[in-house]
Amino acid sequence: MPAIPSNKPYRVGRSRTGLGLFATKPIKKGTKIVRYFGPLLDSKKKKDDAIENKYLFELNSRWTIDGSVRANVARYINHACKPNAESDVKPRKRKVFIRAIKNIEPGEEINYDYGTDYFKAYLKPIGCKCAACEKKRRKKRAEARAERLRLKEKAERKALKKAEKLAAKARKQDGAKANGELVNGKRVNGAHLNGKSRSMIAGKKSAAAGQSASAAAALQDNQVAA
C-alpha cells in the first residue's frame, strides 16, 4: 500500500469491495482530490495495445493511462452508480483528475462512475456492490419477503374459510340428526316410520277398533237372547 502524505485529505482503507479511498478531512464540492496516473500506452504500438488490466483509463482513441502502478493512489477509488466524485479528463494534457461533485465528509468513501463499458465488462457479470445497488437489492429482497408473506396469509385465510365451511356443514348435519330427521338412515319426518306410512297405521287402528265394537255388540245380543 503506497504511503500517503498526512496533508492529503484521504487514506486507503477497507471497503465492502476490498480496498477503497476514504476522506480524512472535509472535501468541498469541486475540489480536485487526486490525480489518476501511470504509464501512457499508445494503441498504435502492438506491445502497448496488448496490455490488459482493470486499471486502464482511456484518454482518447490513441492514448490510455495504465493505472495499475501502486503509486497511483486513485486506483483504489471504487465505482459507484451514484457517486460523490467524477473523473475530470484532460485528453490534450493526457491527465485525469478525480474531482468532488458533492461535499464529502471525513470517513466517507470516495467513489466515481467507471462508465458504461467498464460496468458491462467487469461489474455487471458479478453484480455491482455500490451503496445504491445494495440499497436496490435490499428493497427487492424486502418486497419479495412481503409478497411471500402476503401469499402465505392469503393461503391461510383460504384454508380457514374452507375449514369453517366444512365445520358449518357438519354442525348442520348434527342438528338434523338431533331433530330426528334421520334415524338409522331412515326418514321420520312424518311421512315414513320403519317403512310404513302413517295412513296405513291409522287405518289398521281404525279396523281394530271396529272389530272390537262388533264383538262387543254381538256379545250383548247373545246375552239378550238368552
Per the structure, how many domains does the chain have? 3
Q: Where are the beta strands (DSSP E) in 43-162?
A: 56-58, 63-66, 78-79, 85-90, 95-100, 109-112
pLDDT per residue over 62-110, tens digit each?
A: 999 999 999 999 999 999 999 999 999 999 999 999 999 999 999 999 9
**Hey, how many other C-beta atoms are within 10 angstroms of the C-beta on 65?**
24
Is the predicted pLDDT of residue 207 greater than 70, yes or no?
no
Inside any domain, residue 222:
no
Residues in the chain: 226
Do residue 174 and residue 184 come from a single domain?
A: no
Inside any domain, residue 153:
yes
Do residue 78 and residue 143 come from a single domain?
A: no
- Quote the domain boundaries for residue 163: 130-178
Please report where in the chains the cell 467513489 appears, as a residue: 111
Inside any domain, residue 225:
no
For residue 63, the SS3 value is strand
The C-alpha atoms of residue 23 and residue 220 are separated, in whole angstroms, by 134
Amino acid making up residue 32:
K
Most confident of 18-27, 162-171, 193-202: 18-27
**Residue 57, domain CATH:** 2.170.270.10
pLDDT of res. 193: 46
Please report where in the chains the cell 497511483 appears, as a residue: 72
Do residue 68 and residue 134 come from a single domain?
A: no
pLDDT per residue over 123-170, tens digit each?
A: 888 888 888 888 888 888 899 999 999 999 999 999 999 999 899 888
Do residue 14 and residue 46 come from a single domain?
A: yes
Average pLDDT over the chain, rounded to an integer: 84
Do residue 22 and residue 42 come from a single domain?
A: yes
pLDDT of res. 106: 97
Q: What are residue 123's phi and psi, to 5 degrees?
A: -95, -40
The C-alpha atoms of residue 147 and residue 160 are separated, in whole angstroms, by 20
Count of H-run helices and E-run strands, the chain: 4, 12
**In this structure, is the dihedral angle defined by the CA atoms of residues 169, 170, 171 and 177, taken in order, positive or negative?**
positive
More confidently predicted of 54 and 211: 54
Do residue 66 and residue 174 come from a single domain?
A: no
Please report where in the chains the cell 456492490 appears, as a residue: 129
Between 8-17, 29-38, 185-194, 204-213, the lowest mean confidence (pLDDT) is in: 185-194
pLDDT of res. 173: 86
Beta bridge partners of residue 15, listed in sequence order: 18
Is the predicted pLDDT of residue 185 greater than 90, yes or no?
no
Inside any domain, residue 69:
yes
Do residue 207 and residue 168 come from a single domain?
A: no
Q: How many CA atoms lie within 13 A of 212 on its CB side?
A: 6
Do residue 118 and residue 168 come from a single domain?
A: no
pLDDT of res. 121: 86
